C-alpha cells in the first residue's frame, strides 16, 4: 500500500537531546505517510547520526521546522494533542491513542484543522505548563512498571494510529467548526483573568489553580470564531461597565 495521508499534522519534538532519535522520528513520520517534523529548541544539532537513522526520510529532516519556543510552535494550531506517559495533578481530557473520540478523528481529517502532536524531552517529558496548553492528552498504555517509551517508538505508535484514522473510510471528515487558533485562546484566557480580577472574583495570590481550571475549560469547549467574537465582546463590555 503506497498511500500518502492528506492529514496536515505537524509532529513536534520539544527540546530533544539525541540526534539519533530525531532521525528515527523522521523515518517514522515518513513510513506512516506524513511529512511535517518540527523541533522546539533542539539541544543537539541534527548530526550525521540523525541522517543515518532517518534512512530514506532525509527529506523530512531537511525540511524540519525549528521553533524558538513552545508557544511559537502551537500559536497557529487549533487542535493540539500532547503525548505523556504520566498522569498529572490536574487531570486533562485524556485518551489512549487507539481510543480517540470520533469527533476528534473527524476533525483530524479536515483540511480546516491545523493539528499538532507534541512529544516531550527524553529525560523529563513535557512540563505541566506545556501540557496545559494542549487540548487533549494521549497516552500509550504501557506497563506500570516501566511506562516511558523511547521518543521515536512513542511517535511511531501514535503516527500509526493516526494513519489508521486516515485510512478508515467509516470516519467522516468533520468540517463544521471554524476553530480558533491557540493564540486566540491565550488572548481569551488573559482577557477573562483580567475581568475576574477586576470584579474581585479572582486573586492570583490566593487561588493559583483557578487560572489552570479556566484554561482547561477553554481547551475543553474548543470555541469557533463566532463564539470567540461573542465572548470577547461580552468581556470588553464588562470591562467598560466597571470603569
List binders of ligand SAH among 150-169 (CB under 6 A): 151, 154
Among residues 153 and 232, whose Cβ is nearest to ligand SAH? 153
Looking up cell 477553554 gives 218
Cα–Cα–Cα angle for 83, 85, 90, nearest 5°?
Answer: 80
Shortest approach of ligand SAH to residue 14 CB, angstroms?
A: 8
**Stretch 183-222: interaction string toward ligand SAH, x if CB under 6 A:** ----------------------------------------
Specify which residues 83 forms β-bridges with.
Answer: 138
8 A C-beta contact, residue 19 and residue 51: no
- Kind of pairing between the strands at 115-119 and 36-40: unpaired
Among residues 110 and 152, whose Cβ is nearest to ligand SAH? 152
- Note whether 132 binds ligand SAH by CB under 6 A: no
Among residues 158 and 188, whose Cβ is nearest to ligand SAH? 158
What are 226's three cell numbers?
A: 463566532
Q: Alpha-carbon distance 51 to 100, whole Å?
A: 32
Question: How distant, in Å, are the alpha carbons of 17, 77, 150 from that of 113?
Answer: 30, 8, 28
Shortest approach of ligand SAH to residue 140 CB, angstroms?
A: 4
List binders of ligand SAH among 86-125 (CB under 6 A): 86, 119-120, 122, 124-125
Q: Which range binds ligand SAH by CB under 6 A, 27-35, 103-111, 145-153, 212-220?
A: 145-153
Helix (H, G, I), strand (E, B) or coil at 136: strand
8 A C-beta contact, residue 121 and residue 17: yes
Shortest approach of ligand SAH to residue 190 CB, angstroms?
A: 27
List binders of ligand SAH among 7-66 (CB under 6 A): none
Q: Alpha-carbon distance 185 to 75, whole Å?
A: 9
Contact residues for ligand SAH, defined by CB under 6 A: 83-86, 119-120, 122, 124-126, 139-140, 142, 147-149, 151, 154
Amino acid at each position: 500500500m503506497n498511500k500518502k495521508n492528506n492529514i496536515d499534522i505537524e509532529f513536534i519534538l520539544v527540546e530533544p537531546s539525541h540526534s539519533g532519535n530525531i532521525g528515527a522520528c523522521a523515518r517514522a513520520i515518513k513510513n506512516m505517510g506524513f511529512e511535517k517534523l518540527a523541533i522546539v529548541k533542539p539541544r543537539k544539532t541534527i548530526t550525521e547520526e540523525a541522517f543515518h537513522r532517518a534512512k530514506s526520510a532525509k527529506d523530512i529532516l531537511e525540511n524540519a521546522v525549528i521553533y524558538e519556543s513552545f508557544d511559537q510552535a502551537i500559536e497557529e494550531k487549533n487542535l493540539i494533542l500532547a503525548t505523556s506517559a504520566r498522569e498529572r495533578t490536574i487531570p486533562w481530557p485524556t485518551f489512549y491513542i487507539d481510543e480517540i473520540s470520533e469527533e476528534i478523528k473527524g476533525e483530524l481529517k479536515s483540511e480546516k484543522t491545523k493539528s499538532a502532536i507534541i512529544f516531550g524531552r527524553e529525560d523529563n517529558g513535557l512540563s505541566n505548563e506545556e501540557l496545559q496548553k494542549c487540548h487533549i492528552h494521549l497516552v500509550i498504555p504501557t506497563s506500570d512498571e516501566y511506562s516511558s517509551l523511547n521518543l521515536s517508538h512513542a511517535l511511531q505508535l501514535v503516527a500509526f494510529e493516526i494513519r489508521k484514522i486516515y485510512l478508515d473510510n467509516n470516519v467522516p471528515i468533520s468540517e463544521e467548526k471554524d476553530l480558533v487558533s491557540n493564540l486566540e485562546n491565550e488572548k481569551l484566557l488573559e482577557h477573562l483573568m483580567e475581568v475576574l480580577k477586576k470584579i474581585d472574583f479572582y486573586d492570583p495570590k490566593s487561588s493559583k489553580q483557578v487560572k489552570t481550571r479556566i484554561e482547561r475549560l477553554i481547551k475543553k469547549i474548543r470555541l469557533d470564531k463566532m463564539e470567540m467574537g461573542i465572548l470577547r465582546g461580552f468581556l470588553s463590555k464588562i470591562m467598560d461597565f466597571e470603569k
